[in-house]
Every structure is written in structure tokens, then in C-alpha cells.
Structure 1
Amino acid sequence: MAADAEIRFERRGALGLVTLDRPKALNALSLGMCRAFRAQLDAWEADPAITRVAVRGAGGRAFCAGGDIRYIHACGKEGREDDLYAFWEAEYALVATVQRFSKPYVSLIEGVVMGGGVGISLHGSHRIASERYAFAMPEVGIGLFPDVGMTYALPRLAHHAGSYLALTGAKIGPGDALALGLATGYAPAAAFDTILDRLAEGGAVDDALAVEAEAPPPGPLAAESGLVERCFAAGSVEEVLGRLDGAAASGSAFAGEAAALIRTRSPTSLCIAAEQMRRGPAMRFPEAILAEFRLVTRVMEGHDFFEGVRAVLIDKDNRPDWRPATLAEVDPAAIAAAFGPAARPEPSFA
């Protein structure tokens, strides 16, 4: 499909409005969408008549469920290397453009926001969660790793909550998102059209986003912040699991569920994610995105991503054959080397 059938751009007074319009695909980002979106942001950045941008998803079920994983999988399996890396470069370049965008950038998030959907929302200035907001970075469950700038963002969350999100891939709702700062505000989805009308008028953005609605209370992740901090401050995935197992043995259902989730994930992906959380605090955003591009070149040459996508999205048997199958078999030197320069030409995300 042409990008203009998948993503729509409108000028409404002072507002530039982006609508992701692939509802049947949960508004997953295609290569054409990434390229068109980035070009439009560059144009609006240079246009003095546009003083703010808003992004929303069509259909109500999802803001954006991420990048088009089925397309990426097909490119890799069919040996279409140029198409494969064109997608990763376009998605990461779009995320970097959002992060450095100088004007107010408002994401109105209804439904699922995962993967690339987090990348095009979390790094903007304003993130409004609705009652159906559902955040996750579940990449370790398909043999990938939390990318789209999560090397930078997740380690900076309080109480090691970012490590919890990275290693479990667990889903959280609006209450926890607000408590962690993943969302900057709350509004029911029914108020989104009113918010857009106010933004178009050109007044103060914060005033336009203010609606009378009772925000949801913090959720289970915020309630367990002490336990999360104790367990996920550990230096390795094995140690995280050991601490969670200890807490579960003492009666914590939350710890038991987290440990069980982690044990279903790709051991290689878990080790990459843990290393991202260790290195991320020292990185600037462009460095983090470049590190993720380097990592993805290694993952695309490996086994687990293609097996994970097969098991979760294609055959849907949910029985991935991870290789290696255990954390003990993962080579720490190989994980460290994966953060080094890629063998292929590296784009700049500065």
C-alpha cells in the first residue's frame, strides 16, 4: 500500500496532525509510513505556521503496535537484505527525529502502544494516556531486544522499572504509565477530538491538554516498586531470577509471575537487554540508537528472531526453540561484541 493510504497528515490551524491508519494491522509502522512521517516532521519543523504536532492511531484498538514485524521477517527469510536494513534505518531515523523535534509533540494514546509505537511517542514532549492505554516492550519474547531508543529511556526510569519492562516484556496500564512518567497526562479517549480542536487554536499546549477526568490510580508495578528495585538491580539475568524466586518463595505472586515470564523469553535477548540497561545510562540518545542499529544487525544474522516470530506470530504455537536454550549457554563475550561497530555501513542518527 502507498504510504498515503497508511498514514494521513493534516493541517488544522496551528496543529500538524498525524493519523496512523492501518487499524487492521494495529497501526504497525511500514517502511513507507516511517519515511513519510519523518519527511513530514522535517517539513513542519521548518514551517512557522505549525507550532505543535499531534499523533493518534485510527480504529480505537491501538495507537501503534510497533514496526511491521511480519514484513521484517519476510525480508530476512527471503534474503532481501537491502529491504531489511532499509526498514531498520527508516524506523530508527524516525524515532531520532521525534526525539530532537523542537516543537510540542503530543501523542494521544488509545489502546496498544508497543515497540515502534513507543518509539514515536515516548520521546516526544507530551504523552496522553487514555483509559485503554496498554504499554509493553515485548521484544525479548520474539528473539529481539527493546529498541527504538529504549537503551536510553528504560534505564532512566525509577526503581529499575525499566529493567523489569525490558526483561519481562510485561504489559502495563495507564496508572503505572503515569506513575513512571511513561505518560505525562491522562484523558479519556472520548476527549481526544476536543483536545485536537484546542491544539489547532494555537493557545498554550498544556491548557489544551487539560481535561476534567479522574486519572487512574497507580497499578501493580508501582505498588511493587520496592520489590522491583531489589530484584532488578541485580547485575545479571540469573541473579534477577534468583532474587525473584526468593521473593516468590516468600509469598510474592508478582515475583513469581515475573520470573515465569522471563523464563519464556529468548536467553540471548535477555542478556542483550540486561546489557542495554547496564550501558544505557552513560549514553546520549544518538549513541543509544546507533547501539541498537548495531545490535539489530547481529540479531538479523542469528536464529532467535526468526524462530520467535514464527512461534508467536506465524504458526502461533508459542513454543519457540531458542538457540542457545539456556542463559548459561549464552556467551558473554558475544553479547559484548554485539555492541561494537556493525560490519555494514552505519547510518548517523544525530
Structure 2
Amino acid sequence: MTEVAASVDSSVLVRAEGGLGRLTLNRPRAINALDLGMIRELTAALDAWESDPEVRAVLLDGEGERGFCAGGDVRTLYQQIVGGDPEATGEFFRAEYALNARIAEYPKPVIALADGITMGGGIGLAGHAQARVVTERSQLAMPETRIGFTPDVGGTWLLGRAPGRLGEYLGLTGATMGGADAVYAGFADAIVPSERLGELREALEGAVREGQDLDTALRAYSTGGRPQSSLQSARPWIDDSFSADTVAEVVERLRTRPEPEASATADTLAELSPTALAVTLAAVRRARELPSLRDALAQEYGLVMWFATTQPDLVEGIRAQLIDKDRDPHWQPATIAELEPDAAASALSYRPTTPLWDGPPV
């Protein structure tokens, strides 16, 4: 068997036990936020195990009680942008998106345990696995618009396939999903009580060792049934409002709805980057029509590089939320009413200098 070694001090713990390859994100103080080194370690392990007959499935989880993965290292992204190093920014996203596609296309089963906080880049890892497990502690979200950005890591692919207009709602607002919401929206497959995750890991290893069906082991520890989702009950006002053609019309419809949650959502949107909202609305809808995850990732790569190289809102959003932490971003433009009508079209037509994949653009 090919050995892939990693010390306990590594940001990714890599080991194989009884035919089960184990990948554990190991930056618990940062809620396992991804940096380029971690992405490369994960990729190297998957590459080594693909042709290893003794590794028959892969389990992906995170160290610590707070969460599986809080996302990408946006502080480093901020430093790259303000430092004028777009190539480093592109290198990170190309490596990350290649890993997202690798997980989705991996020839052996990948099981992800998205316990606790799982956002942004964490969705890019767990959301494309063949079996996606959440718990009662899970908090899943694509919160990129809150930093003047747009969902990526294949997030628009998942959002575009959520029921009704939940994709637009979740993408624009960055709303957090609990376990039941994540299953309903198509971001997860099963809910397992967090106290039983250790037993589940042992059961999965035993199933792999004995050549048994992994789904049987997952079902044995799942809560079963289809738990009630708050998103499902909110579908009437979400679908009505987020089917509007523009962000301005979405807000207008939300204001006319009788539900208090609709008005609160309109207030949330008014605080976020108008450019990020317009681009996200268009990106989710276009991803809904794309033929594959790789196409969605290529679209997202163009959008994130457009934001990183041409738009002030991304740097301003990171500054306000994570650097100065004043929670007072000054967006350009400042309001939805001031948005240029072609803002989203300009973003979607942008082509990075270095493409994500070889071949013609999306």
C-alpha cells in the first residue's frame, strides 16, 4: 500500500486504516480554514490512493468541536489583492477548484462528515462528496456576499439545484442551514447525531474492511426519515420573492410580503454589496443551466478573478468583517438603486489571463 505520511502537527492528518483512507483537516483554532498547503496535501493523498487497491474508500472530516471547515483563508486573499499579486490569488483558486472537481469525480467513495461550521471552502470539500453527513450541530452556508464576493467552490452548482428558489435565497443572503435544511436543499444526504460520529467512523472502517455496502452503515446511524426543514415551510415567500428578475425587484417583493422573515431578509440584502448580490443572482441562475460541475467551477473562477482584480468591494468586505472588524463596509456602488444594469453581464463575460481548465471557456 502507498503510504502517505503526515505528522500530528500537519494541517491535514493523512492515514489509512483497514482499507479506509482518512483525511482530517487539522487547524481547529481556525475552524480548519483552508490554505494552499492544505489543498495540496489533500490532493496528493487522493492522487496516491486512487491507484492503491488497499484503500477502497475515503473519509473526510475535521479536527475540533467547532466545525468541519469555516472556508478558505480570506485573510491571505486580502493580502494578495492589496499587495498586487493576482497570480497568487489565481493559483489558490485553481488548486482549490481542481480539488473540488477531484472529490466529485473520485473513482472511490468519498464520505464527508460536515459536523459543526461548514461554510464556503468547506462546502467545496463536503458538498461534492458521494455521501455527505451532517449533525444537529451543523451550520452550512455560502456567506460570500457578506464580504462583497460571490459563492464559489462549486457552490453555485449546488445552489442552482436546490428546490424552487432556495438557491437564489441562500446565495444572496448567505443564510445558515441546519442539518435538516441542508438535506432538504441538497447540500447533505444524512443526519447522524454528533455523539455517534465515532461509532460511525468505526462502522465505516469495518464495512470497508469486510467489503460491505457503505450505505448500510450510514443508514444504521442516520436519524432516518426526512426531518422537518424550516426552509421547506418558508418556500412560499422565498419562491415568490426570489423568482423576480433583478435584485431590486426581489427586495420590492420581499417588502410586500406579510411574513416578518421576508421583511428581515429585505433588510439583510440592503446591508450587503449590491454588486455581489447582482452577480450572485445571475451566477446561480446560469449555473442552473450549465451541464456539469466543471462548467460551474469555470464560471465561478472567472467571477472570483473579476472580483479580485477589478472590484473594490471584496477587499472592503474582508476589511470590514475580518481585518478592522468595524462591520461597516462602504460598498461601491453603495445601494442597489445605484447598480449599473450591466454589472452582472460584465462579470460573467470576464476571462482570466490563465484559464481554470484547458479548452474553450464556458
Q: Does TM-score exceed 0.5, indicating one fold?
A: yes
Query: Does structure 2 retain, via aligned residues, the 8 Å contact 1:14–1:49?
Result: yes
- 5 Å matches for 1:336-347? 336-347=345-356
- The one of 285, 289, 314 equivalent to 1:278 is 285
1:186 maps to which residue?
A: 191
Q: Which residue in the other structure is 1:80 paired with?
A: 85
Deviations 1:139-191 (A, max 9, x none): 00101101111222111110211111001111121121122232100111221
Q: What is the aligned counterpart of 1:245 among 238, 255, 263?
A: 255
Task: Give me the whole-angstrom Cα distance separating, in 2, the residues matched to 1:3 and 1:101.
Answer: 26
Does 1:47 find its partner at 2:56? no
Residues 25-66 of structure 1, C-alpha deviations (whole Å, 9 max, x = no match): 110001001111112112222222211111111111010011
Secondary structure of 1:332's aligned partner: coil
Show structure 1 runs of 5+ residues with no match: none
Match of 1:268 in 2: 275
For 1:337, the aligned partner's letter is S
Once residues 34 and 137 of structure 1 are traced to their aligned partners in structure 2, the CA distance between those partners, rounded to angstroms, is 19
Output the aligned Cα RMSD. Answer: 1.8
Residue pair 1:131, 1:188 contacting (<8 A) in 2 also: yes
Structure 2 equivalent of residue 228 of structure 1: 238
Does residue 292 of the first structure (1) align with residue 300 of the second (2)? yes
Cα deviation, residue 341, structure 1: 4.8
Q: Partners in 2 of 1:74 and 1:195 — Cα distance?
A: 40
For residues 167 and 110 of structure 1, do their structure 2 counterparts lie closer, same or farther at Cα, with a shift above 3 Å needed? same
In structure 2, what residue type is equivalent to 1:316?
K
Query: Conserved in 2, the CA contact under 8 Å of 1:187 and 1:211?
Result: no
Question: TM-score, normalised on structure 1?
Answer: 0.94
Structure 2 residue 100 is matched with structure 1 residue 95: yes
Equivalent position amino acid for 2:254 in 1: L
**2: CA distance, partners of 1:125 / 1:349:** 26
Moved more, 321-330 or 334-343: 334-343
Q: Displacement of 1:243 after TM fit?
A: 1.1
Describe the SS at the equivalent of 1:87: helix
1:335 to 326, 344, 347: 344
Can you list the C-alpha shifts for 1:198-245, whole angstroms capped at 9, x where unaligned? 222212111221335646832322211122111111111111111111
Alignment of 1:128-207 (within 5 A): 128-201=133-206, 202=208, 203-207=212-216
What is residue 322 of structure 1 aligned with on the other side?
A: 331
Instruction: Report the TM-score, using the length of structure 2 for normalisation.
Output: 0.91
Q: State the alpha-carbon separation in 2 of the partners of residues 313 and 108 from structure 1.
A: 27
Q: Name the SS of the counterpart of 2:188 in structure 1.
A: coil
Q: Distance in 2 between matches of 1:153 and 1:349?
A: 23
2:320 corresponds to which of 311, 322, 337: 311
Counterpart contact for 1:6–1:21, Cα < 8 Å: yes
Q: For 1:75 and 1:293, locate their aligned partners in 2 and report how far apart those are by CA, in whole Å.
A: 16
SS of the residue aligned with 1:263? helix
Residue 3 of structure 2 corresponds to none
For 1:185 and 1:327, locate their aligned partners in 2 and report how far apart those are by CA, in whole Å: 38
- Cα distance in 2 for partners of 1:333, 1:256 equals 27
CA distance in 1, matches of 2:240, 2:266: 14
Bigger mean CA deviation after superposition, 184-193 or 132-141? 184-193
Match for 1:175: what amino acid? Answer: A
- Count the aligned residue pairs: 346
Please tell me the residue identity of whatever aligns with 2:306: R
Shift of 1:3: 11
CA contact (8 A) 1:55 1:106 kept: yes
CA distance in 2, matches of 1:316, 1:227: 33
Moved more, 256-265 or 332-341: 332-341
Distance of 1:14 and 1:98 partners within structure 2: 18
Name the counterpart of 2:122: 117
For residues 218 and 180 of structure 1, the distance between their equivalents in structure 2, rounded to whole angstroms, comes to: 12
| Percent identity of equivalent pairs | 37
Letter of the structure 1 residue corresponding to residue 217 of structure 2: A
Q: 1:82 Cα shift?
A: 2.8
Q: Aligned equivalents of 2:232 and 2:352: distance in 1?
A: 41
Secondary structure at the residue paired with 2:61? strand
Partner letter of residue 276 of structure 1? Answer: A
Equivalent AA in structure 1 for residue 164 of structure 2: H
CA–CA distance in 1 between the matches of 2:324 and 2:287?
A: 34
Paired amino acid for 1:43: A
> 1:289 touches 1:349 (CA, 8 Å); kept in 2?
no
